[in-house]
Amino acid sequence: MDRIPILRMGEFLLVTIQVDMHDQLALTLQDDLSTKINEISAKGVLIDISALDIVDSFIGRMISMISGLSRILDAETVVVGMQPAVAITLVELGLTLSGVSTALDVERGMKLLRERVRSL
């Protein structure tokens, strides 16, 4: 698999990471996502990382960069389903992802996105 699929749900984009992220995959995702947001002028992006159980500092930084670039492109970003081990690793690495919104699962994440978009 050389790219991660980006699904469209109305004005939102849904990215589900089902495989182990490696650096090239993350960079491709960043490119694809920014193009896609621009293309459909998406209002929100939901990234599901519940299947991701290994992260390094690079992937952690990618998550925070993807969220940053979506915000510039006027799309709210929510990261959902982070595993405990991943959360602990990121904290130990010193990556607090301060600008990133988080939610426990996809359902809550979608709810959060809708509220955010409606309040705009």
Partner 1 sequence: MAILQQATIDAIKQNESALLASWIENLGDGGSLNDSRISREDVSRQAREFLSLLVTASANGDAADLTRSEWLDSRQFLEALSRSRAMQGFDSQHTAHFIFSLKRPLFDLLQKAYAADPRALSSELWMISELLDTLGMHTIRSFQKSREEVILRQQEELLELSTPVVKLWEGVLALPMIGTLDSQRTQVVMESLLQRIVETGSEIAIIDITGVPTVDTLVAQHLLKTVTAIRLMGADCIISGIRPQIAQTIVHLGLDLGGIVTKANLADALALALKRSGLTVTKAAG
Residues in touch with partner 1 (CB under 8 A) = 79-84, 86-88, 90-92, 96-97, 102-105, 108-109
User: What distance in Å separates the CA atoms of residue 54 and residue 108, rounded to the nearest whole number?
Assistant: 23
- The side-by-side arrangement of strands in the sheet containing 6-9 is 6-9, 12-16, 44-48, 76-80, 101-103
Q: Are 67 and 100 in contact (CB under 8 A)?
A: yes
Q: Least Å distance between CB 35 and partner 1?
A: 27
Smallest distance from partner 1 to CB 60, Å: 10
Query: CB of 15 within 8 A of CB of 36?
Result: no
Give least dist CB 39 to partner 1, A.
28
Give the torsion through C-alpha atoms of 33, 74, 109, 3, to 10 deg.
0
- Smallest gap from Cβ 90 to partner 1, in A, equals 6
Nearer to partner 1 by Cβ, of 36 and 59: the residue is 59
Is the CB of 44 or the CB of 109 nearer to partner 1? 109
